[in-house]
Structure 1
Amino acid sequence: MALKVQGQVAIITGASSGIGRASALQLAEAGFQVALGARNLDKLAGVAAEIKEATGHEPFLMQIDVRHHDQVKDFVAAVKHHFGRIDLLLNNAGLAKGTTPLVEETDVSNWDAMLDTNVRGLLLMTREAVPHMIEGGNGHVINLGSIAGREAYAGGGVYCASKFAVRAITEALRHELLGKPVRITTVDPGMVETDFSVVRLGDQEKADAVYAGMTPLTAEDIADCVTWAATRPKHVNIDAIIVKPLDQSGAGKVARR
């Protein structure tokens, strides 16, 4: 049995592409009113147009960099003012930069980008949104983690650390909100073909090689998981979803043809 979500409001960060875009579309089609946040306003407007065409409803959108607390506060306040409520937060904004071993890294700005976005940004969004959920008597935080938050690998030390942190924050939050009307979920994907590897490696050809000879997950596959968790009955909390392509058994363990 699915939860009837008509009228409920979902905030999606990193909604301009990839998993964020796919999740925004699927959540809107499931009945959520959606608020979209991302750094690229032009792409965000394109996603909003897709949602309006598919559902007839106008999403709320706002340019935001989740690393900046003032922008986060303004975004959440604007969503609450626009819709009058906040029921779901999908902390999707995140990235990986580089694969240089820790002791060989010369550009530590990559570390800052990953930690500030993947960890601090998630914390800031959660801090601002959850009180509105408690006040409204209904809420759900879904954090986009990774199997990198469960299994570290060479060349991914800081990215893995950020996703281990996401898992720790998710579990701590579940304990802290026990007795409150807020569900807490993490969705931890394996290899998903989006622009993730292009951002990480800085080159389309290198990114294509990551998925060569195997069938990766798609953004829509992960959006399916997000939407399924979000539409369970209110008394059902999906703690974690770990999802990998059939061709992957773990980090760096891939069957290629």
Structure 2
Amino acid sequence: MKRSLFFLATTVLLSSIVQGQSPPRYHFDNIDIGVRLEPHDAKPLAKKLSKPALHTSDVRGLRLIHVRPTGGPKDVKYWLRGFTTGNAQIDALLVEAGLRYGVDPMLLYALMHQESAFRTRAVSPKGALGLMQLMPGTAARFGVLNPFDPRQNIEGGTRYLRFLLDLFGEDIALALAGYNAGEAAVIRYGKQIPPYRETREYVRRIARRYVLLRDPEAVHRAKRADQAQLAVIEKEEPKPTAIYERDVFVVRLPDGKLRLVSQ
């Protein structure tokens, strides 16, 4: 039954998130996740994306595959299903924070891959900091004194995502939109994904990642990376949403662990 629900969810979700879009020619930093009192102006862009607006209904399958941890073993391999950020300490902190605040560690993994590509000292042009790309105001709001400290950063980002999930009734798509654009923007647009192309692309990307992480077939299909390819993977930078992401896939590292790679 669970397997049937998973494939139903992925069919619904993938049909809406993997269609091609033409890359817009403008600059935007999707990593700006500070809490805004006023949302972005939804101004027309020079070149429109070919895909229609992304609505909450497009990612309703997220509800079917989302797992809210309520206990169980604090085993990193169990909760991350063999995936790694490339750093055992960060892997453990992801699981610890996810279990503490009831957020699926796999969802945190997907979000972190998009936000920072697992880079502890990542800094966006807008000033977002660390693994979960916390803006200074968001960091202060959730008690993060040093955003480059992995434990504090992951704790703060997870608490913020938990806050958003509570605020939007466990709707993952809206929580992700709030993480990117600020909860005020989501509320202003009637608790719908705001009409910002950057935010829609952000939600699409993390939804795609989350589906892959939860798809056992993606693991079976994972191609093995050699040491030279691993070196390239370790240099991966977060992709701004101004650039349409063609694909994201799973690779098996030389040590047998799994990793997401963006293309």
- TM-score, structure 2 as length reference: 0.29
Higher relative contact order (CA 8 A, sep 6+): 2
More strand by percentage: 1
- TM-score, structure 1 as length reference: 0.30
